[in-house]
Amino acid sequence: MAGTRRVAEPAAPTQAVGRRERHKRATYERLYAAALDLFTEQGYEETSIEDITERADVARGTFFNYFEKKEEVIAAWGTRRRDTLRGELGAIADGGLDVLSSLENCMRALARINKSEWRTTQVMLTAWVRCGHPIFEEPYATPLFAEIVSAGKEAGDVGEHVDPLLVGNMLRDVYLGTLYRYVGRGKQPTTLANELVTTLRLVMNGVLVRPGRQ
């Protein structure tokens, strides 16, 4: 009819892209979950790409649309683990507790996260180390620890001579060193939290301001 304005229809390509992206994400998650389950069940080295794609019910070539090699699954796990730990420690850092209580809660949270998926942690952390990732990984825990120590310093609970970043690195080393030792020796994490907190207190004994100590 002359003079009638046509109403523009929704853009089909945009909808198609949305569906395509959702499908890609779902396939990625299926592959990732299949890989993690198999690594946990039978070990990283013992799991082949064919095992993963069969478990995920996709063609073998589909794996390489998302991961260049099997090692990239380890990197993806590391990224997700870091995000989880950042979230946990960040919430504690913002909780308004005194410096020692905050750091103790951080260590307990780290122990709890590892304990909750201990078999996966054992397998993936071992693969992570063998692939050399610890040498190049971002020291994600260090600035969170350092932030807590810095706040304690401002409150007068931490000595003026203390470098928060140095303490942050020390506490990160305490956490990772203890965790690697548990994994390497095949120990169960029943005493992990206690050991982390005890070692933390030893470190903080030289950091906190004590009555009568200059």
79/98 same-domain check = yes
CA 189 – CA 176 distance, rounded (Å): 13
CATH code of the domain in which 160 resides: 1.10.357.10
What residue ranges of the chain have pLDDT lower than 70?
A: 1-17, 211-214
Binning the chain into helix, strand and coil, the percentages to the nearest 5 are 70, 0, 30
Does 32 share its domain with 125?
no
Q: Are residues 179 and 80 in the same domain?
A: yes
Main-chain phi, psi angles of 132, to 5 degrees: 80, 10
128 C-beta neighbours (distance < 10 Å), count: 21
Residues whose CB falls within 8 Å of the CB of residue 132, separated by 6 or more in sequence, listed in order: none
- Whether residues 41 and 142 share a domain: the answer is no
pLDDT at site 135: 83
pLDDT at residue 15, as a whole number: 52
What pLDDT is attached to residue 80?
A: 93
Percent of the chain beyond pLDDT 90? Answer: 74
Does 2 reside within a domain?
A: no
pLDDT for residue 138: 81
CATH number of the domain to which 50 belongs:
1.10.10.60
Q: ∠68-124-180 over CA atoms, to 5°?
A: 135
Give the model's pLDDT for residue 137: 81
> Based on the domain organization, do 88 and 163 belong to the same domain?
yes
Tell me if 5 is assigned to some domain.
no
- Specify whether 86 is located in the same domain as 153: yes
14, two tokens: 């945009």
Claim to verify: residue 52 and residue 75 sit in the same structural domain:
no
Together in a domain, 160 and 126: yes
pLDDT score, position 133:
83
Helix and strand counts by DSSP (H, E) for the chain:
10, 0
Whether 7 is in a domain gets the answer no
The per-residue pLDDT for 211 is: 58
What is the DSSP secondary structure assignment for residue 158, as one 8-state letter?
B
Both 167 and 116 in a single domain?
A: yes
pLDDT at 95: 87
CA separation for the pair 186, 147 (Å, rounded): 33
Taking the C-alpha atoms of residue 81 and residue 193, their distance in angstroms, rounded to an integer, is 18
Is 60 part of any domain?
Answer: yes
State the pTM of this model. Answer: 0.82
The per-residue pLDDT for 17 is 58
How far apart (Å, rounded) are the C-alpha atoms in residues 19 and 41?
A: 33
Q: Tens of pLDDT along 91-125?
A: 998 888 999 999 999 999 999 999 999 999 999 99
- Please report, for residues 37, 55, 121, 167, the alpha-carbon distance to residue 29 in angstroms, rounded to integers and kept in the order given: 12, 12, 19, 37
Please count the structural domains in the chain.
2
In a domain, 8, yes or no: no
Are 57 and 99 in the same domain?
A: no
Q: What is the pLDDT of residue 93?
A: 87
pLDDT at 1: 43
User: Can you tell me which residue has the tokens 């548990």?
Assistant: 182
Q: Return the H-helix or E-strand segment holding 5.
A: none
**pLDDT of 77:** 94
Which pLDDT value is given to residue 70?
94
Domain around 202: 71-207
**Domain end marker among 54, 69, 84:** 69
